[in-house]
Amino acid sequence: MSETYEEKAARLDAADGLAAYRAKFALDEETVYLDGNSLGALPAHVPARMAEVITREWGELRIRSWDESGWWTAPERIGDRIAPIVGAAAGQIVVGDSTSVNVFKAVVAGARLAGEGRDEILVDATTFPTDGYIAESAARLTGHRVVPVDPEDIAGAAGSRTALALVNHVDYRTGRLRDLPGTTAALHAAGALAVWDLCHSAGALPVGLDAHGVDLAVGCTYKYLNGGPGSPAYLYVAERHQAAFDSPLPGWNSHADPFAMTPGYRAAEGALRGRVGTPDILSMLALESALDVWDGVRIEDVRAKSLALTDFFLECVRAYVPGGRVTPVTPEAHAERGSQVALACPDAPAVMAELIGRGVVGDLRRPDVLRFGFTPLYVGFADAERAARILAEVLEKPAG
């Protein structure tokens, strides 16, 4: 007798080398949580750490904690913890502000680095909307012109007038993985800089910032890095660019001597130039604690499980869901797939609402895309099978 999909899921979960990490998260067994590509689950130890921060570091030590508890160095210290996850050496990532603010810093500073005669900023035409809005504002500030380009065509579109390209590593809507090494190399061949948005890839797959010569990169920490809602984002400035990195937001926290309080600005050395104002310490320390779950984890193992999970989910969807009711828009090819599966589905809002009501939590992008994010540290194969089975039940239910 052939193996059922439930049996296959049990076999795959039993052989999963990352399965034990699920216990590190505050999850219930009644819910299949497939929305970690929007908000990662809470690492179970973070509440105790935050209680310590609030009661002792803030409540007792108060102002002394900037030195005694290491608050002052948190942005670069946490950046160094994120660095190996995205393939960067220490000293190139600073944590703070939102993704949008860091996109602004990176695009303006990148335009200034590019030099005279390069007055075009290429922007991924399918980008998350805010990236486009920020790029337009940065272009107005610097006298550049934004050129929307299909991300598959950026290599051919880059030319002598290109200052930089702002590209999403993984498309937020479809889950398509872009060719970071090839695109970066093509931009460099044209004399331009590569600025990457890693929001949907960091913590889900190898990025290789240093290995592939990326110039600047930004990313959020509340998705696959599980830093919590609104947790601070990060900015990567390749070491070779740090001395010339000219931030459009030169705050006191990035001054070479912050407490001198001089009227003239003198930038700090290194990635610290990416700091602006006083860090959001509570969110930042929650993120630092959340990153403990990555101790001992290889990003290559995370990627292998991610691909196996998404393969299995698609296999179950094909087996369970009535023909023609959903259409995958996430590429089948591993080299083109992030860690989510997007399915085109008529009446997607109502379908997702029903799924959530039955304990399968994903999300959607209007008008017709269901999104299911697979976070390998806490999602298992039984979760994938159950989600596909319940999706089939929902789609088989008569309308009304």
Beta partners for 344?
A: 327, 369
Domains 5-30+298-396 and 48-294 belong to one CATH topology: no
Residue 252 marked ligand-binding: yes
Q: Is pLDDT at 399 greater than 60 in this prediction?
A: no
Q: How far apart are CA 382 and CA 371, in angstroms?
A: 18
| Boundaries of every domain in the chain | 5-30+298-396, 48-294
Identify the DSSP state of 223. Answer: S
Residue 283 marked ligand-binding: no
201: left (phi over 0), alpha (psi -120 to 50) or beta: alpha
Q: How far apart are CA 394 and CA 31, in angstroms?
A: 16
Judged by DSSP in three states, 353 sits in helix
Question: For the residues 362-367, what does the mean pLDDT come to?
Answer: 96
281: nearest Cα among 98, 79, 74? 74
- pLDDT tens digits along 202-214: 999 999 999 999 9
Residue 222 marked ligand-binding: yes
Q: Is pLDDT at 1 greater than 80 in this prediction?
A: no
| 128 tagged catalytic | yes
Fold of 5-30+298-396: Aspartate Aminotransferase, domain 1 (3.90.1150)
Mean pLDDT of the chain: 97
Q: Strand runs (DSSP E) across the chain, as ranges?
A: 32-33, 93-95, 120-124, 145-149, 162-168, 193-197, 216-219, 234-237, 327-328, 340-344, 360-361, 363-365, 369-373
Fold of 48-294: Aspartate Aminotransferase; domain 2 (3.40.640)
Annotate 23-62 with DSSP letters as a single string.
GGB---TT-EE-BTTTSPPPBTTHHHHHHHIIIIIIIIIG
- pLDDT score of 115: 84
Q: How far apart are CA 327 and CA 198, in angstroms?
A: 26
Judged by DSSP in three states, 65 sits in helix
The one catalytic residue among 371, 372, 381, 386: 371
Question: For the residues 192-199, what does the mean pLDDT come to?
Answer: 98
- pLDDT tens digits along 244-267: 999 999 999 999 999 999 999 999
The one catalytic residue among 16, 80, 124, 197: 197
- pLDDT score of 85: 98
| 301 tagged catalytic | no
pTM: 0.97
In contact, 383 and 212? CB cutoff 8 Å: no
| 223 tagged catalytic | yes
Residue 278 marked ligand-binding: yes
Residue 188 marked ligand-binding: no
